Structure 1
Amino acid sequence: MQFEKTPGWLDWYAGPSKPRFKVPAGAVDAHCHVFGPGAEFPYAAGRKYTPCDASKQQLFALRDHLGFARNIIVQATCHGADNRALTDALAHSGGRARGVATVKRDISDAELNALHEVGVRGVRFNFVKRLVDFTPRDELMEIAGRVAKLGWHVVIYFEAVDLPELWDFFTALPTVVVVDHMGRPDVSKSVDGPEFELFMKFMTQHSNIWSKVSCPERLSVSGPPALHGEQNPYPDVIPFARRIVETFPDRVLWGTDWPHPNLKDHMPDDGLLVDFIPHIAVSAELQHRLLVDNPMRLYWQET
């Protein structure tokens, strides 16, 4: 089956640089995706976008090039609740990947157990309106209750302005909750301003809430590293991510977000994204927690 990608969609960066920053042994890229390939794993009929193909082989090659040992592969919205591309990647990872799936209320216990066996350890709830249609919260809460019994967590994706509306639902979830990309703060505002203070309060008051300090390329308004020099990638995002890392060192994760869905302004060099890490986790101890200790505790509890 042939799929024509969404107009304006940028292909992922095919020649990433070798990072200057050497990640610690055992480091985990805790947020990345596989797309298709569409001929093998068709995209969902109700999808909001059609991506370029991004295979498991290409993902694993990037992992090795950047110096990481493991991946957390997050189900892409373009595949809906058809997790076959995800589970195929997990099955071919040699135990070096875990997954975050998308499931619906009617999934059976047997199907959940099969996902667990192949390496899924979480489900993702997406609240970004331009990407997904509304799912009733009672359905999501039911799913969260079922996966909590497996020891899974819930990944939530939302935009900062929507946190007040979603607060009560998020804080009622009965398991660990991982926020994608710091809740997408508006980095043109102050890191000490009321909007980001609300997010910090969200994490402070609820010890089961974690955050990914990822995707500066999505959040930056000052532009890509080419505008600032490779030594200072995405400077306007650094204060936000660093504050989270330093305040909650045991509840943070980092990932490339490869192959960077829905970017239309610039496609990041994944090597430079790795070089962003020492700007937000400034000591070897913080780097080890961010890249090794925390993801291993969340995704490889049995090891």
Structure 2
Amino acid sequence: MTDKHTPAPLKTSPPPHPHPSRPAFRLPPGACDAHCHVFGPAALFPYSPKRSYEPTDAPAAQLRALHALLGIERAVLVQASVHGHDNSAMLDAIAQSPESYRGVAMVPASISDAGLQALHEGGVRAVRFNFVRRLGGAPDLEAIRSLARRVQALGWHLVLHFDPQDLPVYRPFLDALPLPYVIDHMGRVLAQNGLRQEPFDALLELLKDPRCWVKLSGAERTSQLLSSAAGLPFEDAVPFARQLIEAAPERVLWGTDWPHPSVREMPDDGKLVDLLPLFTGDCAALQRLLLVDNPARLYWQD
């Protein structure tokens, strides 16, 4: 019998798609996956005891193999909550591909200037904060402001992960930030609520600010369709991506979100790549902005 004070077992996040397809769309040279993760392996890089789900190992070698299949040449590794403030797995992956990988760290407010400098030298160019409630909720806003001023001196930016309903709530906080910030996963808006929902309107308003960037990742999170639907999977996310590109073509990024933690259905990354020409139409210039020039400007300035 389980003691009433024993924590419930963590929900296990399934492994990524075992056989991703080769995409029909050919990515431009220098294409970047601007939002992906490495998990473990736990034997080398243990997971945080405070994690909210149980990950399946998804190491750097597996990510490199996927990128080779998809035609991706650069990547931005984003520290995931399962590793907490221990960025070792991410830094090890960057060290294996220092010219083509950059990183987004998660750090405590108490980190020293020397600690930030060491991360910079390890390829980190941003710090991430989770506002998503199931991942722990809102961080200390004053601590974020203080850290933002410190990382601004390094030329970094912030990466922010919100629940959609919180985008309007945090508008005053975002307007007062002293540096660029990137909003993950199209603000996690839900396609079922339509294009004129308050969170998406708020996201488009934020994009009027030249400091605001948005990632066109997480189509499988926005979508209400399953991959078994006719046509490409998750196509109902396309109108949202197109409007975001139209609003700020020079401040959008794209990423796979591999290995896709905590999704209702594991996507085929090749099919996610094949959504890109629907996002951009046949415009090669837009494709190059989204996949090559924008991430290079944000992450490879030095």
Letter in 2 for 1:216: A
Could you tell me which of 208, 211, 219 is aligned with 1:208?
A: 211
Q: CA deviation at 1:176?
A: 0.8
Q: Matched residues in 2 for 1:158 and 1:105: separation?
A: 19
Could you tell me which of 105, 108, 127 is aligned with 2:131?
A: 127
Q: How does 1:9-20 map to 2 (within 5 A)?
A: 9-20=13-24
Given that residues 16 and 269 in structure 1 are in contact (C-alpha distance below 8 angstroms), is that contact kept between their aligned partners in structure 2? Answer: yes
Structure 2 match to 1:77: 81
Q: CA deviation at 1:190?
A: 2.4
**C-alpha RMSD of matched pairs (Å):** 1.3
Q: CA deviation at 1:196?
A: 1.8
Per the alignment, in what secondary structure is the counterpart of residue 72 of structure 1? Answer: strand
Question: Residue by residue, what CA displacement relative to the aligned partner does 1:193-223 show, whole Å, maximum 9, x if unpaired?
Answer: 443222211111x110000011111111122
Is 1:189 the counterpart of 2:189 in the alignment?
Answer: no
Per the alignment, in what secondary structure is the counterpart of residue 29 of structure 2? Answer: coil
Could you tell me which of 211, 217, 221 is aligned with 2:224?
A: 221
Structure 2 match to 1:292: 292
Q: Matched residues in 2 for 1:165 and 1:198: separation?
A: 9
Structure 2 match to 1:101: 105
Q: How does 1:260-275 map to 2 (within 5 A)?
A: 260-263=260-263, 265-275=264-274
Q: Matched residues in 2 for 1:50 and 1:121: separation?
A: 27
TM-score of the aligned structures, taking structure 1 as reference length? 0.94
Q: CA deviation at 1:133?
A: 4.6
Per the alignment, in what secondary structure is the counterpart of residue 12 of structure 1? Answer: coil
Gaps of 5+ in 2: 1-8
Given that residues 13 and 53 in structure 2 are in contact (C-alpha distance below 8 angstroms), is that contact kept between their aligned partners in structure 1? Answer: no
Per the alignment, in what secondary structure is the counterpart of residue 210 of structure 1? Answer: strand
Letter in 1 for 2:43: A
Per the alignment, in what secondary structure is the counterpart of residue 125 of structure 2? Answer: strand
Q: Matched residues in 1 for 2:199 and 2:10: separation?
A: 33
Question: Residue by residue, what CA displacement relative to the aligned partner does 1:125-184 show, whole Å, maximum 9, x if unpaired?
Answer: 110010125421111111111111100010000011111221111221111100001111
Structure 2 match to 1:66: 70
- Quick check: 82-91 or 189-198, which moved more? 189-198
Q: CA deviation at 1:8?
A: 4.9
Q: Matched residues in 1 for 2:12 and 2:109: separation?
A: 34
Per the alignment, in what secondary structure is the counterpart of residue 30 of structure 1? Answer: strand
Q: How does 1:275-290 map to 2 (within 5 A)?
A: 275-282=274-281, 283-290=283-290
Percent of counterpart pairs with the same letter?
Answer: 48
Per the alignment, in what secondary structure is the counterpart of residue 142 of structure 1? Answer: helix
Structure 1 match to 2:254: 254
Per the alignment, in what secondary structure is the counterpart of residue 295 of structure 2? Answer: helix
Structure 1 match to 2:145: 141
Given that residues 29 and 73 in structure 2 are in contact (C-alpha distance below 8 angstroms), is that contact kept between their aligned partners in structure 1? Answer: yes
Q: CA deviation at 1:186?
A: 2.0
Q: Matched residues in 2 for 1:253 and 1:197: separation?
A: 19
Q: Matched residues in 1 for 2:19 and 2:193: separation?
A: 33
TM-score of the aligned structures, taking structure 2 as reference length? 0.94
Q: Matched residues in 2 for 1:94 and 1:105: separation?
A: 26
Per the alignment, in what secondary structure is the counterpart of residue 211 of structure 1? Answer: strand
